[in-house]
Amino acid sequence: MPLQEFLLADTPETLEHALAMLRSLRVVGVDVERADWNRYYRAAALVQVGGEGLVAIVDPLALGRLDPLQAFLAERLVVLHAMENDLGPLATLGVCPVRIEDTSIAAALLGLATGLEGLLRDVLGVVPHGDKATMQRAAWEDRPLRHDMLRYAAGDVADLPELWRVLEERLLATERMSWYRQELAAALAQPSVEARRDWTRTKGAGRLNAAAKARLRALWDAREKIARETNTAPARIAGDRVLVDLAITPPAKLPELGRRGVRRAAVRDFGQRLLDAIASGEHAAVASLPSRNGRRGRAAFEDDRAKADRLRAIRSEHARRLGLDPGVLCPSRTLLTALLSDPASPDELRVALGLRAWQWQQLGAAFCEALSLDGSGDPGTTGSTRGEETRMADLLNPDALHHALDRLEGWSGTGEGIAKSYEFRDFAEALAFVNRVGELAEDMNHHPDIEIRWNKVRLGLVTHSAGGVTQADLDLAARIEGLSTA
């Protein structure tokens, strides 16, 4: 239903009036506009509540704790979109919804785009008001708020209940409601965003040697402590790339920190703490520095990477059949990590991968077959023969490859490898593109061959462990295309 009316609630009286306007709704959408770009902890600048074209826009900066809103929501079903962005800021205001649904999770399990704007357009035919990019950059903590900002904020929740109703029907029709319930429960059980931060997720950490990793861990811990103490966004102290650079080539003196990318105020206030952290990490053994989840793992060998490629190809094929993004079935980053735990049985593999029941139901049998794991945990007796059959099954046949390349503009090749050349304005732009491709490749744990000549970049893709082109190569090519057109 189109947005009909919204009320700004910035006093106890206007909050009471706004909630009274919504009294008849049993299902309401809720969204938060945040004001924490420079803060460590997430904070709400606005809270929008509504449905059926009616929206209350609540100003927590003027009201503080929102006990009346908590009492109102406790009696209703609350629909959120990407709730991870909203639940933390709401909790700081004393608002903890009891019954929750999430349209982003539902959309992912239906193979739909998970962006709210696209979902509203594609599922309900609703075109949001205002320019999304402009509103994302808006200063939501400034007062007074412009009318166009208020209208945009109201549009984020006016149709959320109806969107959930349609997605719920589709989940039931496709028999994926149990998948959704498992994913929702897992999302609700997760620790806060701040508690899940982990130094091993720093981009580039995996490429460092032992000594540099020890320095990076010490630097990361120091930055994290400073960020929590001062409620400052870590990047406002020093970005991840800066930390990696400092870990690789430690600075000798305090002034060098500023020249290496640490913000001037951070050098002045915290520079010595960062230098001390580097010194403390100089002789630390990486083996004694597990990630926050306690995993140490062992070094990866070529055979491990080959197995991870095989699992990735299997996952991609199953995801294609189900119409899902492969990462929804199983995140790429877990594949190699799970193999490095040397699982000896299907149960150990499932635990190592962290798969929920519905994901294991889709992938478990194929994964175990590819790794020659049987029910007793002993390697199967058809190892080499089965491995060869799996390898051949992973390779794309010529027709499938031809049709896939038709959908990838500029990519060409044969079953032995595919490639594409890109041209940029200058070397700096070409190098920036290569860096983005490198980060993407690390995330997917699948790496292209890269040639760079001034403003030209050539990328080649092949799954060496399979002896040719697999779905994993096409997945990476498609993601790279997203980078090149962004």
Q: Record the tokens describing residue 184, joined without a space.
A: 């929702």
Residues 40 and 99 in one domain: yes
**pLDDT at residue 447 greater than cutoff 80:** yes
Lowest mean pLDDT among 116-130, 365-379, 416-430, 441-455: 365-379
Residues 111 and 223 in one domain: no
Q: What is the 3-state secondary structure (H, E, C) of the chain?
A: CCCCEEEEECCHHHHHHHHHHCCCCCEEEEEEEECCCCCCCCCEEEEEEEECCEEEEECHHHHCCCHHHHHHHHCCEEEECCHHHCHHHHHHCCCCCCEEEEHHHHHHHCCCCCCHHHHHHHHHCCCCCCCHHHHHCCCCCCCCCCHHHHHHHHHCCCCHHHHHHHHHHHHHHCCCHHHHHHHHHHHHHCCCCCCCCCHHHCCCHHHCCHHHHHHHHHHHHHHHHHHHHHCCCHHHHCCHHHHHHHHHCCCCCHHHHHHCCCCHHHHHHHHHHHHHHHHHHCCCCHHHCCCCCCCCCCCCCHHHHHHHHHHHHHHHHHHHHHCCCHHHHCCCHHHHHHHCCCCCCHHHHHHHHCCCHHHHHHHHHHHHHHCCECCCCCECCCHHHHHHHHHHHHECCHHHHHHHHHCCCCCEEECCEEEEEEECCCHHHHHHHHHHHHHHHHHHCCCCEEEEECCEEEEEECECCCCECEHHHHHHHHHHHHHHHC
pLDDT tens by residue, 327-341: 999 999 899 999 999
Q: What does the pLDDT read at residue 393? A: 41
Residue 255 lies in a domain: yes
Q: Which of 236, 253, 288 is the last residue of a domain?
A: 288
Mean pLDDT over residues 410-433, rounded? 87
The parent domain of residue 447 ranges over 398-485
Q: Record the tokens describing residue 289, joined without a space.
A: 């520095």
Q: What does the pLDDT read at residue 4? A: 74
Residues 421 and 456 in one domain: yes
**pLDDT at residue 405 greater than cutoff 50:** yes
pLDDT tens by residue, 259-282: 999 999 999 999 999 999 999 987
Q: What does the pLDDT read at residue 385? A: 38
Decide if 387 contacts 460 (C-beta within 8 A).
no
Decide if 448 contacts 437 (C-beta within 8 A).
yes
Decide if 353 contacts 309 (C-beta within 8 A).
no
Residues 75 and 127 in one domain: yes
Distance from the Cα of residue 314 to its chain's centroid: 22
Q: What does the pLDDT read at residue 297? A: 57
Confidence of residue 436 (pLDDT cuts 50, 70, 90): confident
Give the CATH number, domain containing residue 465: 3.30.1360.20
pLDDT tens by residue, 343-388: 999 999 999 999 999 999 999 999 999 999 975 444 333 333 344 4
Q: Which of 379, 394, 409 is the last residue of a domain?
A: 394
Residue 427 lies in a domain: yes
Q: What does the pLDDT read at residue 299? A: 78
Higher-scoring residue by pLDDT: 205, 388:
205
Mean pLDDT over residues 67-96, rounded? 96
Residues 45 and 178 in one domain: yes
**pLDDT at residue 390 greater than cutoff 50:** no
Query: For residue 164, what are the contacts with CB-CB under 8 A and spacing of at least 6?
Result: 27, 29, 79, 101, 103, 106
Share of the chain above pLDDT 90, in %: 65
Residues 335 and 435 in one domain: no
**pLDDT at residue 40 greater than cutoff 70:** yes
Q: What does the pLDDT read at residue 1? A: 62
Mean pLDDT over residues 461-478, rounded? 83
Residue 297 lies in a domain: no
Q: What does the pLDDT read at residue 3? A: 67
Residues 469 and 432 in one domain: yes
Higher-scoring residue by pLDDT: 134, 16:
16
Q: Which of 189, 215, 237 is the last residue of a domain?
A: 189
Residue 420 lies in a domain: yes
Tell me what the pLDDT averaged over the chain comes to. 88
**pLDDT at residue 289 greater than cutoff 80:** no
Residue 21 lies in a domain: yes
Domain count of the fold of the chain: 4
Residues 357 and 209 in one domain: no
Residues 378 and 467 in one domain: no
Residues 92 and 162 in one domain: yes
pTM of the predicted model over 0.85: no
Confidence of residue 88 (pLDDT cuts 50, 70, 90): very high
